[in-house]
Amino acid sequence: MFYRENGQFKSSYRADQQILPITQDRIAMLVLLLAAFVVVPLGVSDYWMRAILTPFLILSLAALGLNILVGYCGQISLGTGAFMAVGAYAAYNFQVRIDGMPLIASLLLGGLCATVIGVLFGIPSLRIKGLYLAVATLAAQFFTDWAFLRIQWFTNNSSSGSVSVAGLNVFGVPIESPVQKYLFCLIFVVVFALLAKNLVRSAIGREWMAMRDMDVAAAVIGIRPVYAKLTAFAVSSFIVGVAGALWGFIHLGAWEPAAFSIDRSFQLLFMVIIGGLGSIMGSFFGAAFIVLLPLFLNQLPGWLGFSISTALASHLETMIFGALIVFFLIVEPHGLARLWSTAKEKLRLWPFPH
């Protein structure tokens, strides 16, 4: 009843092409942005900012980039951690080798370097797909791990591969406190989410989805597979590279290649699958699930009034976490985004379904 679009007429093409055509959705988005930019910085502790919200935003951005490749174009990738590492180390080199390089320019240039590597490892997608393509992208993970450990030029002659950044600022404003880091990441996430939403609604976005649904039929109607697949790899790698640079610069401050291991690649793939393939919103749902659920499981024994050992709690957390992932995949294989869409459909008729 409260979520009903009856009477909301679209009298122009511009009104028909809005990202959020329903008034209730626009109001909800404004409230959400207001809460994210104003209420959260004023009312949330530094621990939540530093340990939960900032990682959540950066991982959401990385999942968004991977979702464009996997969810919208149907190209599987297990090298997301490698593309994040390329973005982080490339941004680091731009920052330390060019005096006066602005922070935002370093992050974006790191994303461009990740784009080049992503397109290079995406070329096999023109001949192979499925599990074979997954193995081919996995090679990017092994290659970057070796390169950042063995080629010391990438790490400014650090023998361990560990690098660090300090004194970050944007237009003279320091990025040091947890609130400043949170707001900096939030601006990146909002801008890239808006760009990604518009991109998947454009002609290239429809080409990606046509390739995902049936590549042979897409080629028959005139879509160029080379252009569609490589642009998906390029856009996805750029966003993932920027997320990797944010992860190193803003969240970690000092990092080594292990920070972008294959575990990170699988973690991001789980986020996309659980959140919902082919959904911008699903990327955020998946990141929230992966980041918040372990925290919830860790606190649950205390809330229920009994104590368990730290080792047992860690094992139980892992087991329950895995069981919940399987449960969600069986009950709703289209992810949490589909559950959200179903809930909105129910609200259109509630409380008078007949």
Give the pLDDT confidence of 156-214 residue by residue, as tens digits: 888 777 888 888 888 888 888 999 999 999 999 999 999 999 999 999 999 999 999 98
Query: Look-up: residue for tokens 């009903």?
Result: 4
Predicted pLDDT of residue 82: 92
As a whole number of angstroms, the distance between CA 166 and CA 216 comes to 50
Please give the pLDDT value at position 62: 95
Confidence (pLDDT) at 22:
82
Q: Which of 257, 105, 241, 109 is nearest to 168 (CA)?
A: 105
The Cα–Cα gap between 125 and 245 comes to 26
Q: Report residue 24 as tokens.
A: 């209730």
What pLDDT is recorded for position 1? 59
One-letter amino acid identity for 138?
Answer: L
> So what's the pLDDT on residue 36?
93
pLDDT of residue 76: 86
Low-confidence ranges of the chain (pLDDT < 70): 1-2, 351-354
Q: What is the pLDDT of residue 347?
A: 77
What pLDDT, on the 0 to 100 scale, is given for residue 57?
95
The C-alpha atoms of residue 201 and residue 332 are separated, in whole angstroms, by 25
Pairing mode, strands 254-255 and 169-170: unpaired
Give CA separation, 145 vs 81, 85, 150, 279, 342, in Å.
10, 9, 9, 30, 42
Helical H runs in the chain? Answer: 13-16, 23-34, 40-43, 46-48, 54-67, 80-97, 103-122, 131-150, 178-200, 203-213, 215-220, 225-246, 262-275, 280-304, 310-331, 336-349
Model confidence, pTM = 0.91
**Nearest alpha-carbon partner for 240 in 140, 173, 314, 319:** 140
* pLDDT of res. 343: 83
